[in-house]
Amino acid sequence: MIRTLQIDKLAFGGEGFGHLDGKACFVPFTAPGDLAGIRVVQEKSSYCRGELKSLITPSAERVMPPCPVFGMCGGCDWQFLPPDRQLWWKGEIFAELLWRNARIGRDVILPIIPAPTQYGYRARIQLKIRYVKGAIQMGFYRSGSHYVVNIPDHCPLAHSAINKALPEIRHMLQTLPEPDKIPQVDLVTGEDGQTVATVHYIGSRHDELRRVLRDLFPSLVNIHGILVQSGRKNTMESICGNHSLTYGVNAKGEELTLTFSAGGFSQVNYEANRLLVALALEEATTATRQNILDLYCGNGNFSIPLARKCGSVLGVEDNSVSVRDACRNASQHGLYATDFRQGDAVEAVQQLIVQGKRFDLVILDPPRVGGAGLAKLLPELRPATIVYVSCDPATLARDLALLQKSGYLVTKTRPVDMFPQTYHMESITVLKPA
């Protein structure tokens, strides 16, 4: 049954929002101002979700998406909105979540920082693979499913170096043994265009796969390294070529090159990451004896620039590959007052509390699930400043509420448009003791 729904706003998650029979209704790929024909696909007591079937009256805000599979592919949600409206809605969603869940007012929320570029920014993608009746289907999952939407050999969001590699990946997959045993290929590129492919393999012919990849590698122009992963990240094996990549950050006028391995973490948008690092540096002083704790430190994305300006740094990271990258970056830049340790962030902070350690500045950049456990512990370290970098405003708001209960106040917070054409955003928040 097709129903008519007026879309009033955009909600966290990227869906359009309206009211149907007095109930909140969420519909993907709709814009504020749309009069949409929808089919209800999920019904709950307080809300429902719909599927867009037709646009009875399109919103005046709409623009033509450049991607031919937009709306089918689940890789991005907002290509139909112009950049200024995407920014406005991200700012509104950010402010609404922080007020609703942590009672943080707009007086401490700074305007969102726009992304330097709208397309071609993603330095990492995960290609989902299906082998159907002798043909390779390569692309991204349809939203809410495991159906692979076969993309053309170009993704508007992907870095140009990744797009150059896509035809070679498709050709490579067609030549490999057991192509039906390859569910995913990860592509990551450095800022200089060096690109590494990680082939996920669930088959049993490992020796043959290695041999074929090594034989094929010299003919690949746009792929500079290949790894194979057969399970968790600790099963990652370098097959051929290089798997170390680089990007740049600026430490208050000093250009730094940071290295990371294909199996480690890096931000997907290098230009926006520069802005994020610059914001973090603004919160650090130049006091040479300042002690800094960097949780979820990765390859030293914040630690290395901070250590150049602010003294000793202790970094904690669970990923062993990233810890090695951080140590290498510190060594390359002559930073000997740094200590990078592998381990769980919560357990590390618990140990530091027992040891009676104190830090002037704590910076944390947790995964999307946030750092609720840390939010309850950090005040015991008595930092003069906490800088919370977040990629999820919902978990950020939850954690800020916990920190405020423990005596810290948000002095300013600012979203950064790290992920144009999607509802996702990065943010950086500063807290001080009340």
**What pLDDT, in 10s, does the model give residues 170-192?**
999 999 999 999 999 999 999 99
Q: What is the distance between the alpha carbons of residues 337 and 57, in angstroms, rounded to a whole number?
A: 61
For the question of whether the overall pTM of this predicted structure is more than 0.85, the answer is yes
Q: What is the distance between the alpha carbons of residues 306 and 151, in angstroms, rounded to a whole number?
A: 41
Which pLDDT score, from 0 to 100, does residue 247 have? 98
Which pLDDT score, from 0 to 100, does residue 287 have? 47
The answer to whether 314 touches 294, Cβ cutoff 8 Å, is yes
**What pLDDT, in 10s, does the model give residues 38-53?**
999 999 999 999 999 9
Q: Average of pLDDT values for 126-155?
A: 91
Q: Average of pLDDT values for 296-322?
A: 93
Q: What percent of the chain is modeled with pLDDT above 70?
A: 99
Q: Which residue has the tokens 């996702």?
A: 424
pLDDT above 70 (res 288): no
Give the start-end residues of each E strand in 271-348: 292-295, 313-317, 338-342
Give the start-end residues of each E strand in 80-121: none
**What pLDDT, in 10s, does the model give residues 374-430?**
999 999 999 999 999 999 999 999 999 999 999 999 999 999 999 999 999 999 999
Please, what are the domains in the chain? 1-62 (2.40.50.140), 93-116+272-433 (3.40.50.150), 124-244 (2.40.50.1070)
Q: Average of pLDDT values for 146-157?
A: 92
pLDDT above 90 (res 223): yes
The answer to whether 196 touches 241, Cβ cutoff 8 Å, is yes
Catalytic residue among 48, 67, 327, 391: 391
Q: Poorest-confidence range of 102-106, 169-173, 280-284? A: 280-284
**What pLDDT, in 10s, does the model give residues 2-14?**
999 999 999 999 9
State which H helix or E strand residue 429 sits in: strand 426-433
Give the start-end residues of each E strand in 142-234: 148-150, 184-189, 195-200, 225-229
Output 337 or 119, whichever has higher pLDDT: 119
- Please give the mean pLDDT across all residues of the chain: 94
Report residue 390 CA to chain centroid gap.
10
Which pLDDT score, from 0 to 100, does residue 29 have? 95
Which pLDDT score, from 0 to 100, does residue 252 have? 83
**What pLDDT, in 10s, does the model give residues 18-40?**
999 999 999 999 999 999 999 99
Q: What is the distance between the alpha carbons of residues 25 and 351, in angstroms, rounded to a whole number?
A: 46
Which pLDDT score, from 0 to 100, does residue 82 have? 97
Instruction: Decide if 391 is catalytic.
Output: yes
Q: Poorest-confidence range of 100-114, 256-270, 284-298? A: 284-298
CB-count exposure of residue 141 (10 Å: 0-12, 13-18, 19+): middle
Q: Average of pLDDT values for 346-367?
A: 96
